Amino acid sequence: MIAAITLMLTAPLAVVGSADEYSLPQCHEDVATGVWWPDLSCARNEFKNADAALNKVWKTVIKGTVSTQKSRLISDQRHWLSQMQATCAAIRDQSGEPAILEYRKLACKADLTLQRTKVLRRLVRR
């Protein structure tokens, strides 16, 4: 069973092909001119909420794990965090607008964090 858990936790992140892959549709402002513009406050909150959900599930996973497996799970989680940060840091945006680039990176972090939370939830259900 530990092999299955490890495989689930260390599955590689998708390679970022385009900044358009990550989006938080609820965080777009349609300015009166019809120009799309990201709501950074909303994007920050979405990531904060995703991170809080992940932390809550993580605590449940760790609490229900036997001590001999905890160090492996912690190592796997650290690896995932490193991969997520590198993936999202690599995002580029052709617009040249710093706000759009920050939005894309926040959307990436929120999306990957939500994906990770789903993986961890499956461990809780076992």
Q: What is the pLDDT of residues 31-48, one digit of tens each?
A: 566 666 788 999 999 999
82: in domain = yes
Alpha-carbon gap, residue 38 to 120, rounded angstroms: 30
Residue 83 belongs to domain with CATH number: 1.20.1270.180
Rounded to the nearest 5°, which phi and psi values hold at 30?
-100, 95
Query: What's the pLDDT score for residue 21?
Result: 62
What is the pTM assigned to this prediction? 0.78
Give yes or no for residue 120 having a pLDDT over 80. Answer: yes
Collapsing DSSP states into helix, strand and coil, what is residue 15? Answer: coil
Alpha-carbon gap, residue 8 to 1, rounded angstroms: 11
68: in domain = yes
Number of domains in the chain: 1
Tell me the residue range of the domain where 62 lies: 39-126
28: in domain = no
> What mean pLDDT value characterizes the chain?
80
Give yes or no for residue 4 having a pLDDT over 60. Answer: no
22: in domain = no
24: in domain = no
5: in domain = no
32: in domain = no
120: in domain = yes
